[in-house]
Structure 1
Amino acid sequence: MEKLLEPTSDPTWVLVAEGYDPLREGIYEARFATSNGFLGVRGGRAVSRGSRWIEPHRTYIAGLFDIPGSEHPIPVLVSAPGWLESRIISTGGPLVHHPAEVASHRTTLDMRRGALFTGCRLIDHPNIAVHVRTMGLVSLNERALGLHVINLEVEYGQVEVTLEASFEGLGLGLLSERLEQDLGVWRTRNSNKRLAMAAALCLQIDGSELAPTMSGPFVWSWHWKTRTGQNVCLSRLVAVARGDSQDEAPDRVAWEKLEGARQLGWRKLVQEHEAAWSERWQRSDFEVQGDSAAELALRFAAYHLNSAVNPADEHVSIGARGLTGDDYHGHVFWDTEIYLLPFYTLTWPEAARGLLMYRFRTIDGARAKAAGMGWRGAMYAWESADTGTEATPERVVCPDGRIVEVLCGRQEQHVTADVAYAVWQYWQATRDEEFLLRAGAEILLETARFWSSRAQPEPDGYCHIRGVIGPDEYHEHIDDNAFTNVMARWNIRRAIDVVGLLRERWPERWASLSSRLALGDTELVQWQTVAETMATGLNPQTGLFEQFAGFFDLEEIDLTAYEGRSVPMDVVLGRERTQKTKVIKQADVVALLGLLPEEFAGDHADANFRYYEPRCGHGSSLSGAMHGLAAARLGYSDLALRYFQQAAAIDLADTHTTIAGGLHMASLGGTWLTAVLGFAGLSLQSDEIAINPKLPAKWRSLGFAIEWRGRRLKFRIDADHDLLQATLESGDSITLLVNGRQHEVRCDQATVCPL
């Protein structure tokens, strides 16, 4: 057995599932998914799933959206044909009829190597017994390529066998344009996108290649007689290309990528893939001493975050479930900018830039949405697919069969400020001038223009934003949501800052941009007035932000009386009653604490957290991590750790069947936020990096890496010795602020800072 086909032996880098559990197969398919930001493959069984399996192997292609029809005019992520179907047939028929029949099945996700491994024993007693091992991956080095290797070791038996390999779902959801033995081209029904897949298979018996018997498009079979000790290896390469317009030729691209992979050989392809993963782990790995479960959770999060993005494609972003499932139709939410972008900005700036360029490329859709609702500037879609047009369904069917109107597409508008927030954070962390001048400044200006038209002055002297939904989606049609208004004010002020920056450093660019946007001094003065008079709900005496106008007058509900419930609070109380209570779906004012801590003076941050935290029912997977971040910053480390564990458990515990529809990318990003911006206390302050560590009691140390303005740094917080070690691996020396004290960090030596 080749070492390449064995997973890493270090248990801190692998996830393992044993046997067969029909209730959890969908969970494992999502958890063990492999992806590279372009091509995503669910972690389903290949050889051992049986001949009566109904669902095909799910393969997703980033950006492959289609509108199914006029009765469902919402773009959805379309599944590509599955390319992993395999069957072994002996004299008695298929060796596997049902996965429950398979002895000792083991699935291993090797996060260090970015590959999925399986092992099992197939028996047709007394005729034959075969030990089967497989390895599957999608290349992080060449994103068009997927690889699957099956290794068979014959334990005993001299019988005639047939190995069949094929594609599944060739006619599901896509229209076939061309279907040959090893090349297929399909198109979507309504969005005019094209998909090409090319495949090459090679079977070797004891090192000698056996020619296949071809029986149809994307179907291969091999027939031979086994013997004890025989070793059989099937390698399957697939190349995938997406075409977004009719003048593109995805078939040519797929074929060229496949030919390159064949010349390279699958072993070299694995080596290059692993080298790409090694480089990613150098920049995003964690080490946690004293809490092996937390270390594994952080690596699991970083694995799937690194897997979810393709820096080379500015036309796509990351959906709520990544490429691990099709819940929410593959749509992009505010999750990407608020929960995911910090990870990419500080560990993979090229990826962060690509995601922000997706927002720039869809800004015309945001402008059209704003204009359609009577406002100016750019108002980003609550749910976005490939064009930026609003993709939120107008109504959905609840589990109890009721049809409910969905208002988020019109009322949940804070996503516009969230996009601007991510743009500014990226600029602060990278000083990417080319991005700012090409895209970032325009996003900031057009979103500020939207808010300045959206917030209306009233006789009380304040500008109000009425009729919205904040992050707490239990309350609709509300006025002056604190999160929305404060983020909008912040958005306007950063746009004014960027105007000053452009005028000072790039006056020609400012002249060109302001002329194209018809943005003059009169409008900028109006922006300043809106920012200065924005209603925020802040009570200066108590320091509390009222979550929205009238929130403090709602019914109090003691959530401790409902501990142990298995359903969200709006199901327990009913939607109508929930809207009349102070029960919060997810972090709202607490999210403001997480994103803009500077908005809370003195002990106001603590006062707001202590008020809102007990009233949150955590009806969203986004909630726990944001509470963990806020709690960690405030020094509530044990509480923060509990929230961290809850966020990690959403995708790692086997009790959450919702992950069958895909992993919760926001909660994965949120665990990174809690660890780095929370427990490590990392923040960016002007031209300095500040760290104020507050580790949980059981964490003896925390190690992590970041990138900042062209520098690569590694940190290790040692709680046992109250020390921080900072290592500058590349780039110019910097000033590090550790608990308020300045330390110079240079490239020639590690800097040790007392805590």
Structure 2
Amino acid sequence: MNLDYIIPNPWSILEEGFDPDQVKASESLFSIGNGAMGQRANFEEKYSGPTFQGSYIAGVYYPDKTRVGWWKNGYPEYFAKVLNAPNWIGINVSVNGEALDLHTCKKVDNFKRELNMKEGWLSRSFTATLQNDIEIEVTTKRFLSLDMDELGAINYSVKSLNSDATITYQPYLDSGITNEDTNWDDKFWDTLSVSQDNEKAFITAKTMKTGFHTCTFMASQLFINDNEVKIQPKVDKSETYISFSYAQKVNKGDTCSIHKFGGYTVDRNHQKDELIAAAKTVLDKAISAGFSNLLETQKQAWTKIWDMADITIEGDIKAQQGIRFNIFHLNQTYLGTDATLNIGPKGFTGEKYGGSTYWDTEAYCIPFYMATKDQSVARNLLTYRYKHLEKAIENAEKLGFSNGAALYPMVTMNGEECHNEWEITFEEIHRNGAIAFAIFNYYRYTGDFSYIPEMGLEVLIGIARFWHQRATFSADKNKYVILGVTGPNEYENNVNNNWYTNYIAQWCINYALDNIEKVKEGYEDDYMRIVGKTRITHTELASWKKIADNMFFPYDEERNIYLQQDGFLDKELITVADLDQSQRPINQKWSWDRILRSPYIKQADTLQGMYFFEDQFTTEELERHFDFYEPFTVHESSLSPCVHSIQAAKLDRMEQAYTFYLRTSRLDLDDYNHEVHEGLHITSMAGTWMSIVEGFGGMRVKNDTLTFEPKIPEQWEAYSFKVNFRNQILKVNVSQNETQFELEGDAELQIMVNGKTVTISPNNLVTV
């Protein structure tokens, strides 16, 4: 892929010129969503070239039976997959009977595609010469409504440039679709009905096994030069398909347009037998409002989001485009209104990772949603895990744990583990720590302790019980060890005493013990309820404490650093700088055996712990560990550059911090990992936001106080961001010479800037 084909622009993603080799990449990059559904940027009209068709509905999934060569005890039965949903965007277009297909046109000129992030719409325009020599000009615009999240809208226009012509539009619905990603080529959907009501069409379908019921729907209006025309359409129908054909004669130079409204109603929100009625209601509202009014409402909804979430960067268009692209897709993927939903690493942009929930949500996403929405959104994400606690206990029981020990899944849709690579499913247990850390992080940032007695303490107890049982006493070391794990660095499997895992296990136990005492002292009713439910005893708590106090941490006295795991120094310590660049990325060039024996680190591991628990380490300790581990880090995880950017900024290594920032913010736009055609890296986008706010802005919460140590890359003139801290909205503007703070609201706020207390009054600019 040509890395420079996306044109730098502060508010839009722009592509100019049609290149069939970039179609799949663009389908990812120009994806749209509204939290309830999303779709890749597939063409509305027929396209016979290579394409990855994808439309997805939040929360609708299929349990695709696990495919492994050798079944191991404890393997999950299935991998949950977000499903390619019935297609509603399709519009076949023909002129004088010749189909419009950019893959077969004689000529395509002036091709331009735009994803307008400020207003939340996708457009395309081009001129084409068809096989019958008719020249046409096409413009399209579509969006998924934030206001009516079951609805999408398309405006598709064709102008005949060189002759009078008959333009035929054939809008259709199609439930005969397949997933790109399937283990056994199963049939995922069962079509129940195909029906019409005048010029409205409906396909009801249900997912196999999981039994989600959906209605895919559409209605259309036809226009000549913006004047509506009424034509009785020809209807074509099969068991999985319905289309309406509208044929309209136009004069040379005239424009014929179709407005198509479509989308999904789902039994997650309606009764099964009311899905068509609900769809009719949506379509009636859409037709009554009209495309232009719906688009205006869309712009207003995005203006409201950007008012809080925007980060401005002056003097660096690529950096500006990068951060807005990240913020835009985070908001397209999850808006926090439904506690039964979560954030998939690819969002609605592809099928890799199954659209499931990973530890990415707790480690990377919650800070973004806490600071740019209100705290209820982050609380919903924590509530999601609480509702899956029983499943986490079941997951642990399947692996031989007991007494309410909880192991949260590596990958899940409904709380059940559905990841089936043994070195991750059974060994990447540090994910449990991210769940507990998110509870701590939420309380630290919001000051809302109520989540802990209501829900969080039960989660913390289940997690502490897991660590208590997972640790082993080593008589040789006279310490507790944790054996056979995979740390955040997935290029090391089945290691002993991964420092990050041991450290977060110790921290989780101590944090659970602290909160048991707090709830006992201040929330007696909740405490009695939790004790009755969990049956914790003083003897058990004492046993936890013994393990936490005697946890083993591998350490190298000579280098004065914690070792990533036992035996790390036995490796041939060749840095990435001395690695032949033709061997990169190693995950695509090397055997797994060779990767496992190498010193190369996929993403922050020891440094991930020092990022989470920064207050427990001196800057000198961080520097020693950064200097040792970063040179071995290949950054072949999307989650790697953001953490390293934050730490480089803390160490005043601004050039390095800036390089990492640019990599994390433009990971997909510049396709660093050569995989953007599969979909975008949504959860790492939240890490990009952190790399500005926590990295360059130096924002932390210490001793209940918001603190900043602002820095700025020399490539930037200024940057600004807003955070909602405990229901007070603070705007921070950093330039090369000063930092300005402005507070919305009616109460003053005390913050710390570079170690000094600063009091900010509402609507009063303070310059430091």
Q: What is the rounded CA distance, in whole Å, between the counterparts of 1:17 and 1:655 in structure 2?
A: 18
Q: Secondary structure at the match of 2:279?
A: helix
Q: What is the rounded CA distance, in whole Å, between the counterparts of 2:515 and 2:148 in structure 1?
A: 37
User: Are 2:218 and 1:227 aligned?
Assistant: no
Q: What is the rounded CA distance, in whole Å, between the counterparts of 1:246 and 1:78 in structure 2?
A: 19
Residues 80 and 354, structure 2, Cα contact 8 Å, conserved in 1: yes
**Which residue identity is paired with 1:24?**
Q
Tell me the residue number matched to 1:397: none
Q: Name whichever of 550-559 and 507-516 sits farther off.
A: 550-559
Residues 24 and 50, structure 2, Cα contact 8 Å, conserved in 1: no
Residues 56 and 168, structure 1, Cα contact 8 Å, conserved in 2: no
User: Are 2:213 and 1:194 aligned?
Assistant: yes
Residues 192 and 245, structure 1, Cα contact 8 Å, conserved in 2: no
Residues 161 and 223, structure 1, Cα contact 8 Å, conserved in 2: yes
Change (3 A) 1:29 1:308: same
1:38 Cα offset (Å): 1.6
Residues 88 and 263, structure 2, Cα contact 8 Å, conserved in 1: no
Tell me the residue number matched to 2:413: 386
Q: Secondary structure at the match of 2:140?
A: strand
Q: Deviations over 1:186-214 (max 9, x none)?
A: 11111121222222211122312323414
1:119 Cα offset (Å): 0.8
1:445 Cα offset (Å): 2.5
Q: Deviations over 1:43-94 (max 9, x none)?
A: 12224x54x3575741011111112457683221111112222232222512
Tell me the residue number matched to 2:264: 240
Which residues of 2 match residues 2-13 of structure 1 at below 5 A? 11-13=9-11
Q: What is the rounded CA distance, in whole Å, between the counterparts of 2:694 and 2:66 in structure 1?
A: 45
Residues 57 and 85, structure 1, Cα contact 8 Å, conserved in 2: no
Q: What is the rounded CA distance, in whole Å, between the counterparts of 1:245 and 1:419 in structure 2?
A: 28
Q: Name whichever of 553-562 and 173-182 sits farther off.
A: 553-562
Q: What is the rounded CA distance, in whole Å, between the counterparts of 2:214 and 2:498 in structure 1?
A: 44
Tell me the residue number matched to 2:653: 636
Q: Deviations over 1:15-57 (max 9, x none)?
A: 111222222211111110001122011112224x54x357574
Residues 618 and 624, structure 1, Cα contact 8 Å, conserved in 2: yes
Q: What is the rounded CA distance, in whole Å, between the counterparts of 2:342 and 2:149 in structure 1?
A: 15
User: Are 2:151 and 1:135 aligned?
Assistant: no
Q: Name whichever of 278-287 and 498-507 sits farther off.
A: 498-507
User: Are 2:292 and 1:256 aligned?
Assistant: no
Change (3 A) 1:432 1:263: farther
Change (3 A) 1:583 1:91: closer
**Which residue identity is paired with 1:492?**
I
* Equivalent of residue 418 in structure 1, options 434, 440, 445: 434
Q: Secondary structure at the match of 1:696?
A: coil
Residues 193 and 245, structure 1, Cα contact 8 Å, conserved in 2: no
Tell me the residue number matched to 2:707: 690
Q: Deviations over 1:82-120 (max 9, x none)?
A: 222223222251243626632221100101111101111
**Which residue identity is paired with 1:77?**
V
Residues 407 and 466, structure 2, Cα contact 8 Å, conserved in 1: no
Q: Deviations over 1:261-283 (max 9, x none)?
A: 33333323222222221111111
Tell me the residue number matched to 1:748: 763
Tell me the residue number matched to 2:170: 164
Change (3 A) 1:195 1:433: farther
**Which residue identity is paired with 1:419?**
I
Report sequence identity in percent. Answer: 25
1:519 Cα offset (Å): 2.0
Q: What is the rounded CA distance, in whole Å, between the counterparts of 2:627 and 2:443 in structure 1?
A: 33
Q: Deviations over 1:691-719 (max 9, x none)?
A: 01222222221201111111111100121
Which residues of 2 match residues 489-568 of structure 1 at below 5 A? 489-538=506-555, 543-565=560-582, 567-568=584-585
* Equivalent of residue 669 in structure 1, options 682, 686, 703: 686
TM-score (norm 2): 0.90
Count of residues paired in the alignment: 730
Q: What is the rounded CA distance, in whole Å, between the counterparts of 2:456 and 2:219 in structure 1?
A: 43
1:175 Cα offset (Å): 0.5
Change (3 A) 1:746 1:104: same
Tell me the residue number matched to 1:447: 463
Q: Which runs of 5+ in 1 are unaligned?
A: 1-8, 395-405
Q: Secondary structure at the match of 1:742?
A: strand
Residues 710 and 731, structure 1, Cα contact 8 Å, conserved in 2: no
**Which residue identity is paired with 1:232?**
C
Change (3 A) 1:695 1:350: same
User: Are 2:69 and 1:63 aligned?
Assistant: no
1:504 Cα offset (Å): 2.9
Residues 66 and 420, structure 2, Cα contact 8 Å, conserved in 1: no
Tell me the residue number matched to 1:712: 729
Q: Secondary structure at the match of 2:41?
A: coil
Q: Deviations over 1:126-170 (max 9, x none)?
A: 974432211111112222111111133444422222111112343
Q: Deviations over 1:670-700 (max 9, x none)?
A: 2212111111111111321110122222222
Change (3 A) 1:592 1:220: same
Q: What is the rounded CA distance, in whole Å, between the counterparts of 1:523 and 1:731 in structure 2?
A: 48
User: Are 2:233 and 1:213 aligned?
Assistant: yes
Residues 480 and 536, structure 1, Cα contact 8 Å, conserved in 2: yes
Residues 96 and 102, structure 1, Cα contact 8 Å, conserved in 2: no
Tell me the residue number matched to 2:473: 457
Residues 164 and 251, structure 2, Cα contact 8 Å, conserved in 1: yes
Q: Name whichever of 294-303 and 484-493 sits farther off.
A: 484-493
Residues 636 and 673, structure 2, Cα contact 8 Å, conserved in 1: no
Q: Which runs of 5+ in 2 are unaligned?
A: 1-6, 68-76, 179-187
1:297 Cα offset (Å): 0.6
Which residues of 2 match residues 252-331 of structure 1 at below 5 A? 252-331=277-356
Tell me the residue number matched to 2:123: 117
Tell me the residue number matched to 1:402: none
Tell me the residue number matched to 1:203: 222
Change (3 A) 1:655 1:541: closer
Residues 429 and 708, structure 1, Cα contact 8 Å, conserved in 2: yes
* Equivalent of residue 740 in structure 2, options 725, 748, 751: 725
Which residues of 2 match residues 25-64 of structure 1 at below 5 A? 25-47=23-45, 50=47, 52-53=48-49, 55=51, 57-64=53-60
**Which residue identity is paired with 2:18?**
Y
Q: Name whichever of 119-128 and 327-336 sits farther off.
A: 119-128
Change (3 A) 1:388 1:201: same
* Equivalent of residue 407 in structure 1, options 419, 423, 434: 423
Change (3 A) 1:10 1:581: closer
Tell me the residue number matched to 2:377: 351
Residues 149 and 233, structure 1, Cα contact 8 Å, conserved in 2: yes
Q: What is the rounded CA distance, in whole Å, between the counterparts of 2:408 and 2:526 in structure 1?
A: 28
Q: CA RMSD in A?
A: 2.5
Q: Name whichever of 202-211 and 625-634 sits farther off.
A: 202-211
Residues 41 and 58, structure 1, Cα contact 8 Å, conserved in 2: yes
Q: What is the rounded CA distance, in whole Å, between the counterparts of 2:693 and 2:489 in structure 1?
A: 25
Residues 13 and 114, structure 2, Cα contact 8 Å, conserved in 1: yes
User: Are 2:114 and 1:108 aligned?
Assistant: yes
Which residues of 2 match residues 479-494 of structure 1 at below 5 A? 479-494=496-511
Residues 583 and 617, structure 1, Cα contact 8 Å, conserved in 2: yes
Q: What is the rounded CA distance, in whole Å, between the counterparts of 1:478 and 1:527 in structure 2?
A: 23
1:442 Cα offset (Å): 2.4
1:572 Cα offset (Å): 5.0
Change (3 A) 1:211 1:437: farther
Q: Secondary structure at the match of 1:63?
A: coil
Q: What is the rounded CA distance, in whole Å, between the counterparts of 2:379 and 2:104 in structure 1?
A: 43
1:245 Cα offset (Å): 10
1:472 Cα offset (Å): 1.1
Change (3 A) 1:731 1:42: farther
Q: Name whichever of 330-339 and 429-438 sits farther off.
A: 429-438
Change (3 A) 1:641 1:725: same
1:555 Cα offset (Å): 2.2
Q: Name whichever of 464-473 and 328-337 sits farther off.
A: 328-337
* Equivalent of residue 394 in structure 2, options 368, 374, 381: 368
